[in-house]
Amino acid sequence: MTRRTIIFIVAALLALAAPRMLSASGHGDGGEFSPKEMVMEHLADSYEWHITSFKGRDIIVPLPVIVRSSTGWHVFSSDKICHEGAVYEGLYIAHEGKYKDKIVEDVGDVQKRPIDISLTKTACGAIFSLLVVMILFLVAARAYKKKEEIDYCPKGLAGLLEWLISSILDSVIKPCVGSKWRKFAPYLLTAFFFIFITNLLGLIPIFPAGANVTGNITITLFMAVMTMLAVNLFGSKHYFKEIFWPDVPVFLKAIPLMPLIEIIGIFTKPFALMMRLFANILAGHSIILSLCCIIFVTVHMGAAVNGSMTAVALLFMIFMNCLELLVAFLQAYVFTMLSSVFIGLAQEGH
Amino acid sequence: MELLTPSGGLLFWMTIAFGVVFFILAKFAFPVILDSVEKREKFIDTQLDAARAAEVRIAGLEAEGEKIIADAEREKVNILKDAAASRDKIVGDARETAQEEAARIIAEAKKQAQEEKDAILASARGEVAMIAVQMATKVLRGQLSDKEAQEALQEILGDEAVTERG
């Protein structure tokens, strides 16, 4: 692919994203465009999947709302509740307060949050990219099963994935985890490809990609907890001895100073994993969106300013998108590498 | 702050979705791929080893072949040398025998010639003597017809016999 084609594709994608920004500008009824609102709307989770607005009408994919309120389970489509002032079966979306933008119910005078397991935009985005990952690898695995001969290198998708898997295995998992790498390889590879593909999908601004999934703290929290479980559930005796009775002078253990630090360490490691991935992807999305907002903020400043700023913003957006491609891989790589290192450290002494 | 608050519902779905996908991939996808990659790696390694062994063997065979060729070459030289030596010897022997034979034949021929010459000479001498005797007889017959001549001869013969006894 030539450089020109890439630039054209990026520009086309941005052009596709533009109506969404325009619609965002139309949200505040006064016509005043609020970049903060627009960026936050994208970064935060929502009950519906807003694709674009066309001639003043929002094009929305309604998602299922599943809540258990004081009156029992409620399952309905989000379009029943997502417009202004809608109340459905005693449930509505709070516009301010502690539960802003969440489904709440009024029990007596108190605003209460029901148990909410709605398939939100982020949940759907995560499920979509997990499906992509699953289909990719099942298709690739079928290519191996079909071919009886192992003498030949696989081609096509299986070849591409094998190349990625082998490079991650050889450069990260095997050296970092150590001799028991085989046991942890499925988790680490799933984590790597889930994060990598989700990051990439996050850069595509077209439904069903484009949701802010790895920039959502719940997702990164889950991934970090998974790594924490992998580290601590399969930790060696030596690893736990190092935590509760490390090789330090006794007075450091008598007042359990070192054990305390080590126990805190168990939680700080995954916490760092969680925050790193979350913050990096969130920042990338925010910067690209903010650059996009420049175009709409400068609309009222005259054609010259708006035109030149559009060009500048476009250039920066192209640059940022390229950078985000790198970050997408880098963050997946770093997450996998650190998980492997933590697992490897807990395996020592075997 | 909302961005930093984990949501229970999302965590629930994520746990289910990731759990299912992880289970399926860990059971049906990754082991297959990793096994194949490992098998292929092993296969390539064994093939490389086999190739290396074959190379060593070929090198050994080559050396052996070269040794055989060198031996044959040496043998050839030896044979040629022997052949040349025996040829020379045979030729030499033949020449010697021939020379000896020739010498012998020549000597024999010479001897025979000598003998024949001697015989011829002897017979010639005999014949000459006979002729001389016959001539002398004839001459004497002529001369001794008279008495005087007979007496003169007696004298001569008597003198000669005296000088011979002398």
pLDDT digits (tens, 9 = 90+) for B81-93: 999 999 899 999 9
Instruction: Verify that A221 and A323 share a domain, yes or no.
Output: yes
Instruction: Verify that A323 and A248 share a domain, yes or no.
Output: yes
| Residue pLDDT, tens place only, B107-122 | 888 888 888 888 888 8
State the CB neighbour count (10 A cutoff) for residue B47: 11
Three-state secondary structure of chain A: CCHHHHHHHHHHHHHHHHHHHHHHHHHCCCCCCCHHHHHHHHHCCCCEEEEEEECCEEEEEECEEEEEECCEEEEEEHHHCCCCCCCECCEEECCCCCCCCCEEEEECCEEECCEECCCCHHHHHHHHHHHHHHHHHHHHHHHHHHCCCCCCCCCHHHHHHHHHHHHHHHHHHHHHHCCCHHHHHHHHHHHHHHHHHHHHHHHCCCCCCCCCCCCCHHHHHHHHHHHHHHHHHCCCHHHHHHHHCCCCCHHHHHCCHHHHHHHHHHHHHHHHHHHHHHHHHHHHHHHHHHHHHHHHHHHHHCHHHHHHHHHHHHHHHHHHHHHHHHHHHHHHHHHHHHHHHHHHHHHCCC
Q: Is residue A141 scored above 90 in pLDDT?
A: no
Question: A186 and B15 in contact by Cβ < 8 A?
Answer: no
- Would you say residue B136 lies in a domain? yes
Average pLDDT estimate for A80-91: 80
Instruction: Verify that A220 and A300 share a domain, yes or no.
Output: yes
Q: Residue A314 corresponds to which amino acid? A: L
What pLDDT does residue A282 have? Answer: 92
pLDDT bin (cut points 50, 70, 90) of residue A280 is: very high
What pLDDT does residue A226 have? Answer: 93
What pLDDT does residue A15 have? Answer: 60
Tell me the CA end-to-end span of chain B in Å, nearest whole number: 186
- Among chain B residues, CA nearest to A43: B3
What pLDDT does residue A130 have? Answer: 94
What pLDDT does residue A30 have? Answer: 46
What pLDDT does residue A17 have? Answer: 55
Q: Is residue A103 scored above 80 in pLDDT?
A: yes
**How many domains is chain A built from?**
2
Interchain CB contact of B26 with A (< 8 Å): yes
**Closest to A125 (Cα-Cα) out of A46, A191, A54, A21:** A46
Q: Which among B4, B18, B32 has CB closest to A144? A: B32
**A102 burial via Cβ count (<10 Å: 0-12, 13-18, 19+):** buried
**How many domains is chain B built from?**
1
Q: Is residue A29 scored above 50 in pLDDT?
A: no
| Cβ atoms A201, A131 nearer than 8 A | no
**Closest to B2 (Cα-Cα) out of A19, A313, A212:** A212
| Cβ atoms A206, A16 nearer than 8 A | yes
- Would you say residue A85 lies in a domain? yes
| Residue pLDDT, tens place only, A289-312 | 899 888 888 888 888 888 898 999
Instruction: Verify that A154 and A301 share a domain, yes or no.
Output: yes
State the CB neighbour count (10 A cutoff) for residue A248: 12
Percent share of chain A, pLDDT over 70: 89
pLDDT bin (cut points 50, 70, 90) of residue A19 is: very low
Q: Is residue A87 scored above 90 in pLDDT?
A: no
Residue A242 C-alpha, separation from nearest chain B C-alpha, in angstroms: 31
Q: Is residue A10 scored above 70 in pLDDT?
A: no
What pLDDT does residue A25 have? Answer: 45
Q: Is residue B138 scored above 80 in pLDDT?
A: yes
Instruction: Verify that A307 and A322 share a domain, yes or no.
Output: yes
- Would you say residue B23 lies in a domain? yes
Q: Number of Cβ pairs closer than 8 Å across A and B?
A: 120
Q: Is residue A5 scored above 70 in pLDDT?
A: yes
- Would you say residue B102 lies in a domain? yes
Q: Residue B115 and residue B21: Cα distance in Å, rounded?
A: 134
Chain A hits for B31, CB-CB cut-off 8 Å, are 186
Instruction: Verify that A195 and A208 share a domain, yes or no.
Output: yes
- Would you say residue B99 lies in a domain? yes
State the CB neighbour count (10 A cutoff) for residue A109: 5
What pLDDT does residue A151 have? Answer: 58
Average pLDDT, chain B: 87
Chain B hits for A118, CB-CB cut-off 8 Å, are 9
Average pLDDT estimate for A124-137: 93
Question: A123 and B9 in contact by Cβ < 8 A?
Answer: yes
pLDDT bin (cut points 50, 70, 90) of residue B74 is: very high
- Would you say residue A2 lies in a domain? no
pTM above 0.80, yes or no: no
Instruction: Verify that A195 and A99 share a domain, yes or no.
Output: no
| Residue pLDDT, tens place only, B13-63 | 999 999 999 999 999 888 888 888 888 888 889 999 999 999 999 999 999
